[in-house]
Amino acid sequence: MGNLVMGYWDCPFCGSKGIAGTTMNCPACGRARGDVKFYMKNVAEGEIREQNERGDVEYLKEEQAKYVSKNPDWYCSFCNSLNSDNAQFCGNCGASRADSESNYFDMLQKKEERERAAAAAQQPEQKRRNPLVILLIIAAIIAGVVFFLNSNKTSGDLKVTALNWDRSISIEKNVQCSESGWELPEGAELTEKKREIHHYDNVVDHYEKREVKRSRQVVDHYETYYTYKDNGNGTFTEEPNERPVYTTEYYTETVSEPVYKQVARYATKYYYTIWRWKQDREEKAAGNDHNAYWPELNLGGDEREAGRTEEYRFTVEDQKKNTTTTYRLAEADWRNIHVDDTLNITAKRTGKSAFISDEKGNKIADVEAVR
Ligand SMILES: [Zn+2]
Ligand SMILES: [Zn+2]
């Protein structure tokens, strides 16, 4: 059992402070102690003290400690005053201890509950804007913008100022190439074959022992520290506790680690010549009328055609805005357009998904703006 420490209380009736816990009645107004909370001088509630930090702790003298009960004061239900565990009748009103229903700690708990309830009732209720409402407003704004950008806009009275077409044919030439590889392709003519390094493998050569320094935490010794418990009778008990103190221990460990070496792996490499079709040139034709034609081809014996591309365009002038735009479209639609025609073009407000339309925006032919 630890040492007893003197507790103190303040009189709730006359405001007298720092009355010793061994005193049952207020020396200023004479009333018995009731709804009070005991405290120590110098040591705060929950404080921890080290072995050598206890010079200001106010211990009860051995003579006093002898008469102090270890039990809390009992609380008189008739006059609300605290009485020592040694007393069988209330020192204030004379009621029997048998009629008492609670002690110091029960009284303290009820008092704290009352204070918490009073504090909660005073707390003003905070008003917050519902985050869901803000989210819905943002979503509605985004939806509105998307809907606007996605809506169509028709530009009328566009005057066709030019027609253009481009046609081109890609030509490949059969050429003899010198190549090498780990396989001989079909149709190749072998020139030479050699053993060469194909790749390297990582192979364990041997193991090496190595000393590694390591450390670990071990308990060196235990040290005592002290906590303080309210006895509920005007005194506190100083209780000793133990905690481990650690120290770092160093030691060496031998580990075995693999040492690798690079081993070359050989394979047969083939050197050969092979005939391949390679891109050679483009034959092109272009014009600004409806007479589109393919360029004439004069293919040599070692040449072939490898694909055709074609593009048909028209340019319109917006006389209100004083701008011109060129569009690409299918040949069949392009043949229906002539210089000096007037057109309507409808597109999204972003400029995408353009098409030739009537005045009301009904589609006639798809087009694509040329950058
Ligand atoms: Zn008093
Ligand atoms: Zn009483």
Q: What are 266's strand-pairing partners? A: 197
pLDDT of residue 125: 63
What pLDDT is recorded for position 126? 61
Which residue(s) pair with 245 in the sheet?
Answer: 221
* Predicted pLDDT at 186: 94
127 confidence band (pLDDT: 50, 70, 90): low
* Averaged pLDDT, 312-329: 91
pLDDT band, residue 49 (cuts 50/70/90): very high
Rounded distance from Cα 115 to ligand 2 centre (Å): 24
Closest to 112 measured CA to CA, from 35, 46, 34? 35
Neighbours of ion ligand 2 (CB under 5 A): 76, 78-79, 90, 92-93, 95
Is the pLDDT reported for residue 102 higher than 70?
A: yes
Beta bridge partners of 366: 355
Q: Which residue has the tokens 């106010």?
A: 58
What is the Å distance from ligand 2's center to 32 Cα?
9
Ligand nearest to C-alpha 28 = 1
Reported as a single tens digit per residue, the pLDDT across 191-211 is: 999 999 999 999 999 999 999
For residues 116 and 123, the answer to whether their CB atoms sit within 8 Å is no
User: Which ligand neighbours the alpha carbon of 27 most closely?
Assistant: 1
Residue 135 has pLDDT above 80, yes or no: yes
Residue-level pLDDT at 123: 75
pLDDT at 23: 93
Tell whether the model's pLDDT for residue 128 goes beyond 90. Answer: no
Ligand (nearest to CA of 15): 1
Q: Which residue has the higher pLDDT, 292 or 128?
A: 292
DSSP string of 186-235? TT-EEEEEEEEEEEEEEEEEEEEEEEEEEEEEEEEEEEEEEEEEE-SSSE
User: What's the CA-to-centroid distance between 80 and ligand 2, angstroms?
Assistant: 6
Alpha carbon dihedral 200, 201, 207, 213, in 10-degree steps, equals 80
Which one, of 122, 112, 83, lies nearest residue 99 by Cα? 83
Cα(42) to centroid(ligand 2), Å: 32
Quote the CA–CA distance of 228 and 88 in Å, as a whole number: 28
- The percent of residues above 90 in pLDDT, for the chain, comes to 80
Q: How far is the CA of 34 from the centre of ligand 1 (A)?
A: 11
Q: Is the pLDDT of residue 73 over 90?
A: yes
Compute the distance from residue 87 Cα to the ligand 1 centre, in Å: 21
Task: Give yes or no for residue 280 having a pLDDT over 90.
Answer: yes
Q: Whole-angstrom distance between the N-terminal and C-terminal Cα of the chain?
A: 93
Model confidence at 63, pLDDT cuts 50, 70, 90, reads: confident
28 C-alpha to ligand 1 centroid (Å): 5
Q: Give me 337's structure tokens.
A: 């357009």
Asked if 3 contacts 227 with a C-beta cutoff of 8 angstroms, the reply is no
> How remote is the CA of residue 34 from the centroid of ligand 2, in Å?
10
Query: Residue 156's pLDDT is what?
Result: 81
Closest ligand by atom to 76 CA: 2
Contact (CB, 8 A) for 317 and 326: no
Half-sphere exposure of 145 (CA within 13 A, CB side): 6
Distance 232 CA to ligand 2 centre (A): 18
Return the domain boundaries, the chain. Answer: 156-171+283-369, 173-274
CA pair distance 38, 40, nearest whole angstrom? 7
Q: What is the pLDDT of residue 116?
A: 92
* 81 Cα to the center of ligand 1, angstroms: 13
Highest mean pLDDT among 115-129, 170-184, 336-350: 170-184
- Tell me what pLDDT residue 47 has: 95
What is the reported pLDDT for 353?
87
Residue-wise pLDDT for 219-256, tens only, equals 999 999 999 999 999 999 999 999 999 999 999 999 99
CA angle 30, 34, 35 (to 5 degrees): 135
Specify the pLDDT at position 155: 85
pLDDT recorded at residue 170: 96
Considering every ligand atom shown, identify the ligand nearest to the alpha carbon of residue 18 and give its number: 1
